[in-house]
Amino acid sequence: MRNADEILNNSFLEVRAKLLEVAATLDRIERALGEEQQLEEASSASRAKIDEAIKILLSSGDDRAERLQHLFSREYAESWRNEFGI
């Protein structure tokens, strides 16, 4: 099993690139909105989820991936096969 230093050293550049991509996307959204515009309702809900995800990333614990998965997952529905035509 790798230790924490090895994991960080092996993953740093990849994680850095992903964080830069997120930051650049958020910057593009802000620039496109301008000062007076607001996001449509569905887009606003998506942006709120991204903000909540960032809060999860900034929190402590070893279950952040699980919490992110729950944040972006749908509630379980017994009828999911019918809803998706499966």
pLDDT of residue 65: 97
Give residues with Cβ within 8 angstroms of 85, minimum separation 6.
Answer: none
> Concatenated DSSP letters for 62-75?
S-HHHHHHHHHSPP
Token pair listed for 62: 């070893």
Considering only 9-18, 28-37, 66-75, which range has the smallest mean pLDDT?
Answer: 28-37
Mind listing the pLDDT tens digit for each residue in 38-72? 999 999 999 999 999 999 999 999 999 999 999 99
What is the pTM (predicted TM-score) of this model? 0.81
